[in-house]
Structure 1
Amino acid sequence: MPPVRLLSTRGRRVDVAELSIARSVMFFYPAATGRPDMPREWNLVPGARGCTAQTCAYRDHHREFRRLGVDVYGISAQDSAEQKDFAGRMGIAYELLSDSDFELTEALRLPTFEFQGRRYIKRLALVLRDHRIESAFYPVFPPDRNAEVVLGYLRGNQT
């Protein structure tokens, strides 16, 4: 994993290379607002819709990840203030990390898309361990099942 530092919803800079020492999950999503104010056209973009459902599924399964000794991090290109507002309203206990400069996205060559002149990270999930990507989940559909799919993988690969 590259030594990229991202701002977290807890106000600290997080080095993603350090996160990958222990087993952890980083899931990426375009943008989560928890509000119905996204433009109607957003739902027509493949893979754009469902960010709130995906992040809330990780919220709902957070204890199960912790029981397995796995930390969870959600990452989007939204600024940290936007993420913090969303996390507070939705009761997200894990950290959200802002890759607003696309530094991690570009270092890992992650897929992105453009919508109304703005760049977004496509939805995917990575299981990390020992400074490397152990497993990748892409494309992610349906978004609300992503946490369960990743948990299934972790339970079946507990070495």
Structure 2
Amino acid sequence: MNPGVEQNAPVGTGPTALYPDLVLTSQDRGHRLQIVVEVETGESVNHLEALAQWAHFSKVRAAFHLYVPGGMVDVARRLCEDNHIYVAEIWSYHTVGDQVRFTLVHRNREAPPVQPRIRTPAPPRTPPAVRASAAPRTRQPPRTGAPRKKTARSAKPAKKATPVRKQKRK
């Protein structure tokens, strides 16, 4: 949860990380992102907010739910359609006394648009080239005669002893 200006649960990484109002993850080991919720006020339902945040939240691999005040539902829906922002659900809210009531006003039954990943094909594998000048080797007959002498390896010369440094007197 990211209430107010707190930045506890990011969506994305690095400088492109955004902080929606509510992030719901799965309970399994991977804690996979399931739902991203953005709650707007009457003043924050506008074109700038739609392009700056909603468009990015709709491209995340999780359902994007938008909560707007009751009087701003049509404005939010039109902003999403005009800017091609995919919203899984739009909820309206209003207060009755000291209680907040939520109503589902739009559920998108279409699958979210999937952007195709463009993969560059791997270069075809070619067998290693055979040298034209290299003729096939013929096997030489085994040598006969006196056995070879083993050559002795020459030992490396010993390291010179380094002189011991004396400590300077004060």
TM-score by length of 2: 0.30
Rg comparison, structure with higher value: 2
Tell which has more relative contact order, 1 or 2 (C-alpha 8 A, sep 6+).
1
Higher helix content, 1 or 2: 1
The two structures have a TM-score, normalised by structure 1, of 0.32
